[in-house]
Structure 1
Amino acid sequence: MAAPVLLALRALNLGDLLTVVPALRALRRHHPDHRIVLATAGVLAPLAALTGAVDEVLPTPAPDALACTEPVDVAVNLHGAGPRSHQALDAVAPRRRIGLGRPESGWPGPPAAELDHLHERVRWCAMLSAHGIAADPDDLRLPPPAAPDDLRLSPPTGASPGSAQPVVVHPGAAFGSKCWPADRFAALARRLAPLGPVVVTGGPAERSLAGRVAAEAGLPDDRVLAGRTSISELAALVAGAGLVVSGDTGVAHLAAAFGRPSVVLFGPVGPERWGPPEGPHRALTHPEVRRGDPFADDPDPALLAVGVDEVEAACLAVTARNGCVTGVVSGTTAS
């Protein structure tokens, strides 16, 4: 007899998937006899497998594209509060529905407004808890995948012994509001060279941006990895990194998932909702000047107020052997 199906919907991006790893593991523990199918972007399948909580990925770029043709016992909405995501799961006619409450459509659960103030990881664990499913928001770590040979880098000339771990600089983000200026990333990359081989990552559309950062930093062309790595290769690179520096984007969540030292620059949205967990991580922002429009084409003032000196100091702090620090830096003071 085939195992009953639990269908979980999270048809979003890299960072969005990583924030629901604790929720997926909670569902795995609570439904050990179910086959867990995750409806998400197909490119994320290798990371879904690393969670140990997903049996199958159903490629789904958006809720409207959900195409499940088999009977579903339990449907779990980890995507949002609806109506599109709720309607997409209603269409598969599950026996039980788990998600944020939407009384007008018959969905049980806590109202979204009650949980919106929580960190994204905590939010979905709290939703499951309201349905009687115990979840630990700190259960987010992933096992490191094996690194391909062509991603193993030699330390730069003059680097200290044992510094072959790459320094990952990721200048891109989904929206301009979250993009720290390229010339600042370049200046930072030059300063970080003694820590290890600096590489510049990004998606195919960010190849030009990455090339500009590398050129201004004096890095060779082979250090530009934007558009050259699969999701598995990017994960392996981050898992073996000595440091990751990025804006508020998916690579920051990869660093948290693998416990690698990271510095994350926040602009329109503060780290209270999407920031890194406790560990060798530092979030930098200036909320006193925040504009708060996450879809703006230009960098948020809270991001522009973060200077290169601040970021360099945070990078040195999180990579110090005996001085890892965690927290949010506002203005020019650090805790």
Structure 2
Amino acid sequence: MTVLVLRALGLGDALAGVAALRGVRRAWPGHRVVLAAPQPIGQWLADHGVVDAVLPTRGLSQLPWPWAGPGGAQDAPGCLAVNLHGRGPQSHRVLQATRPDALVAFDNTEAGHIGPDWDETEHEVLRWCRLVQSVGGHCGPEDLRLGPSDPLSGRSEVGGQAEVIVHPGAAAEARRWPAARWTQVVVALTAQGHRVVLTGSEAERGLCARVRQGAGQGAAVRNAAGELGLPALAELVSTARLLVSGDTGVAHLATAYGTPSVTLFGPTPPSLWGPTIDLARHAVVWHGEPGAPPRDPNAGRLDPALAQIPVDEVVAACESALTQLPATANETTTPSWPDRPATRSAVPSPAPHAQA
């Protein structure tokens, strides 16, 4: 039996779904888990053993199913389908078109599917864990980890000192803190003796170059934007001293590897997308209004809540993270954000897929 899982989204979304993916494997042990996702992200998760294979997918395009995977053998028409992509109906229909034996997904009348209710106020990690828990897949935030049990060990050293990663970019303008402020953060970090590496996509190489040039710190700051594929970026984050970034995919790498981090939030509150494990090592900076609905994270202008974050607050958060590391790497308490919904705790016993 194949379990076909749809989550054809970006890096941050993929990492937020790792816990649920592990729940899928526990619900159907011995079955092959195929993830429909962008090739680089899906293959990276397969290399980590989170899934068995990746069906390269962009967005909500039709899935080629039955599918001849890496071994060449074509999957049977029937499969178990799990929608970790969205609430439907489009994503439901993409999976329904594969003629699955059963579909695990949130309730959607338009797609003719009955399932658990969608909760707009639920944290992204907890939402998908709840869906998988509804069919017997035990999972929780602690399953987000990809690194060792003691993530503070083995931090890489550059010239005798571990690097601090500063990631100034984001996919949308709404989540991009101004470059001039990032420059001031880099200046403060190097003034304290830290070596800084700037990361980003190829499209963000110019942004990182401006930040580096503005900081004027020479060899103390290097620009690695556009030079790192996902495996290399993950390795860098896993061994860094600290990651400082906006609310974007790289922040979830810090969660996965237990790397201390400072994350700046804007349109989306941390109650929906913030860290849920190792809370003593992950600081969030947010000037939004608790309880207010999130704004468009893909808007084309700087979000007001992000614009309100001052440089000195970010620098202070970095100083705290760099000087007050927690004694243990195993804290898994779920955060108590002011506007966070109650945690779901009931996990049903494993059930066969026919009941999904």
Instruction: Tell me, yes or no, whether TM beats 0.5.
Output: yes
Distance 1:96 1:32, change over 3 A: same
Does residue 89 (structure 1) correspond to residue 95 (structure 2)? The answer is yes
Does residue 14 (structure 1) correspond to residue 11 (structure 2)? The answer is yes
How far the C-alpha of 1:94 sits from its partner, in A, is 0.6
How many angstroms apart in 2 are the aligned matches of 1:140 and 1:328?
18
How many angstroms apart in 2 are the aligned matches of 1:242 and 1:322?
10
Question: Is this contact kept in 1: 2:204–2:225, CA < 8 A?
Answer: yes
Map Cα deviations across residues 112-160 of structure 1 (whole Å, 9 max, x no partner): 2xx221110000011122233322232110026xxxxxxx6634xxxxx
How far the C-alpha of 1:67 sits from its partner, in A, is 2.1
> Equivalent residue for 2:55?
58
Question: Is this contact kept in 2: 1:46–1:231, CA < 8 A?
Answer: no
**Percentage identity across paired residues of the two chains:** 43
> Equivalent residue for 1:262?
261
Give the counterpart letter for 1:285 in structure 2.
W
Does residue 176 (structure 1) correspond to residue 173 (structure 2)? The answer is yes
How many angstroms apart in 2 are the aligned matches of 1:228 and 1:219?
20
Distance 1:311 1:167, change over 3 A: same
Question: Is this contact kept in 2: 1:25–1:51, CA < 8 A?
Answer: no
> Equivalent residue for 1:315?
318
How far the C-alpha of 1:278 sits from its partner, in A, is 3.4
> Equivalent residue for 1:217?
215
How many angstroms apart in 2 are the aligned matches of 1:153 and 1:171?
22
How many angstroms apart in 2 are the aligned matches of 1:167 and 1:185?
13
Please list, as runs of the form range in 1=range in 2, the aligned pairs for 1:58-207 lying within 5 A after superposition: 58-69=55-66, 70-71=75-76, 72-112=78-118, 115-143=119-147, 154-155=158-159, 162=160, 164-193=161-190, 194=192, 196-207=194-205
Distance 1:277 1:47, change over 3 A: farther
Q: What secondary structure sits across from 1:138 in the alignment?
A: helix
How many angstroms apart in 2 are the aligned matches of 1:237 and 1:260?
10
Map Cα deviations across residues 212-263 of structure 1 (whole Å, 9 max, x no partner): 1111112448811111101000000000110000000000000000000000
Distance 1:186 1:88, change over 3 A: same
Give the counterpart letter for 2:270 in structure 1.
P
How many angstroms apart in 1 are the aligned matches of 2:301 and 2:134?
39
Give the counterpart letter for 2:131 in structure 1.
M
> Equivalent residue for 2:353?
none
How many angstroms apart in 1 are the aligned matches of 2:129 and 2:195?
38
In the superposition, the TM-score normalised over structure 1's length comes to 0.86
Distance 1:242 1:195, change over 3 A: farther
The root-mean-square deviation of aligned C-alpha atoms, in Å, is 2.5
In the superposition, the TM-score normalised over structure 2's length comes to 0.81
Q: Which moved more, 1:44-53 or 1:272-281?
A: 44-53
Map Cα deviations across residues 36-87 of structure 1 (whole Å, 9 max, x no partner): 0001110113431354230001111112142232324200000001122111
Distance 1:37 1:220, change over 3 A: farther
How many angstroms apart in 2 are the aligned matches of 1:329 and 1:187?
29
Distance 1:5 1:230, change over 3 A: same
Distance 1:51 1:111, change over 3 A: farther
> Equivalent residue for 2:245?
246
> Equivalent residue for 1:40?
37
How many angstroms apart in 1 are the aligned matches of 2:223 and 2:314?
21
Q: What secondary structure sits across from 2:240 in the alignment?
A: coil
Give the number of equivalent residue pairs: 312
Q: Which structure carries more relative contact order (alpha carbon 8 Å, separation 6+)?
A: 2
Q: What secondary structure sits across from 1:128 in the alignment?
A: helix
Distance 1:170 1:191, change over 3 A: same
How many angstroms apart in 2 are the aligned matches of 1:99 and 1:192?
45
> Equivalent residue for 2:345?
none
Distance 1:322 1:237, change over 3 A: closer
How far the C-alpha of 1:328 sits from its partner, in A, is 9.3
How many angstroms apart in 2 are the aligned matches of 1:294 and 1:116?
15
Q: What secondary structure sits across from 2:35 in the alignment?
A: strand
Give the counterpart letter for 1:189 in structure 2.
V
Distance 1:101 1:209, change over 3 A: same
Map Cα deviations across residues 78-102 of structure 1 (whole Å, 9 max, x no partner): 0001122111101110101101111
How many angstroms apart in 1 are the aligned matches of 2:83 and 2:23?
14
Q: Which moved more, 1:57-66 or 1:181-190?
A: 57-66
For structure 2, the 5+ residue unaligned runs are: 67-74, 149-155, 339-356
Distance 1:84 1:33, change over 3 A: same
> Equivalent residue for 1:284?
285
Question: Is this contact kept in 2: 1:19–1:140, CA < 8 A?
Answer: yes
Question: Is this contact kept in 2: 1:252–1:264, CA < 8 A?
Answer: yes
Distance 1:58 1:20, change over 3 A: same
How far the C-alpha of 1:329 sits from its partner, in A, is 10
